[in-house]
Chain A
């Protein structure tokens, strides 16, 4: 039997298996649904296709839901069973793949259970991978743990000096006591922040927010292939579907070849001129450059926010530290663009780690519901990794206040967990005692 030869093949087998399971005679069933026994025989041996009306009548006669016999669903289930059978589970058991359609036809309940278990297992596995990635790559977690380790190192060495080093001058003793006090406070604050953050993992119930899930998916093979089904949550799938729709619309409005040709122009590095030459909106050109990443725009990232400042799309540029969803730096030029719609802003920015980026931001306004409708604003920022020395007018930005070490930032809205610099002022700035 060839279950991949055509949808009707499987349907016929299922009809036959179901009829035999009910101990019904072929002639009786055929008569009840208004066809000849010979024709039903051909259907059951997968030699004739079955229309949807006939499937519905047969399903009623055989006391099963119509979709139990319908072809598309069966194909999907066969694929799901095959996937479950080949997934490595650490056992040597080998499923009889050549009998998968027979198994599905004879034991639909067991098959459904197996598929459900396999899907649940796959979902849990993805969640575990996400969690593992988060533990090893999450900038917030890495920064916090580094803070803890630094404070612990300082406390241990300083305490050991006070206990083990013998005679120490009063000035130095006082100095080390102050350092201990400072580091112990820093340690307790950072530990509290860490516990709160880890609690949020449990509160969310998932390894990542839907937005993080979609962002990870975008850079995966499944994301590049547009396989929305690979996403674990309904919300993430809906977000990815919207995103894909937007990308498809953008690609139709500015096809790869049209953009590619325009990029051959000597001044292609200026997206404003590029947009003018193409006769396309600048925000569309910026989105397409981030999508296509042609020569001169390699490693490009894209941030899009709505009028409230909430980021609706985050595609990281190489080396640009994105904070967790819902968090951002108020100094990103993206937010400046919101205040000056239809004005293209170019700005070099520098991260606390010294990484340099060229940014191009542009905001648009629209009234999708007409004159009486609300005025909506949206801003887009293209991020391009840059090389060379940091220019004096580069804007110092951060990832988000909580993990940003810039103590004197005028846009700070909450203390940093890097309390040493952000909340308490720089350490080690007091005059150092001279005598040891």
Chain B
């Protein structure tokens, strides 16, 4: 069964809160806690949606997104990505992401955005 959401986020408490919120909606959510290995995790899990933090250790969310969009596998390259950013970084993040959510965010906004992207 295909994974619904892969979240790449190094802040464990944020990741935990997001997973809790989205899991309650019935979606299966997996976490990857580091920029390193992020693209490999996406390739391996093939999620329907990636939630990607911009500021990650070792490899930034923007770099992971570039790698993803440059993938030879067209289906993989087209994986929808929701980018989590600080307000000032939204422009940088938004270029290749399908949607951007600025931190701190309202849980209901997160839920609505994911619902829309997975519809």
Contacts and interface: CB of A to CB of B under 8 A. Distances in A.
Given A153-B103, A160-B106, A183 B13 contact: yes
A355 B40 CA distance: 19
B70 interface: no
Contacts of B44: none
A391 B66 CA distance: 25
Contacts, number: 77
Interface in A123-179: 145-146, 149-150, 152-158, 160-161, 164-165, 172, 175-176, 179
B105 to A, nearest CB: 7
A144 to B, nearest CB: 13
A339 B7 CA distance: 46
A182 B35 CA distance: 24
A353 interface: yes
Contacts of B13: 154, 158, 179, 182-183, 427-428
A224 interface: no
B107 A172 contact: no
A398 interface: no
Most buried by A among B21, B59, B108: B21
Interface size class of A (residues with CB under 8 A): 20 to 34
B22 to A, nearest CB: 11
Given A154-B17, A157-B18, A158-B17, A428 B12 contact: yes
B104 A152 contact: yes
Contact of B17 (A146, A161, A420): A161
Nearest to B10: A150
Contacts of A182: 13
A385 to B, nearest CB: 16
B104 A354 contact: no
Contact of A150 (B14, B57, B58, B59): B14
A157 B17 contact: yes
Interface in B1-36: 11-18, 20-21, 23-24, 35-36
Given A354-B36, A405-B57, A161 B14 contact: no
Most buried by A among B13, B21, B24: B13
Given A179-B13, A353-B57, A353-B58, A153 B20 contact: no
B58 to A, nearest CB: 4
A146 B55 contact: yes
B20 A149 contact: no
A352 interface: yes
Interface of B: 11-18, 20-21, 23-24, 35-36, 55, 57-59, 86, 103-108, 110
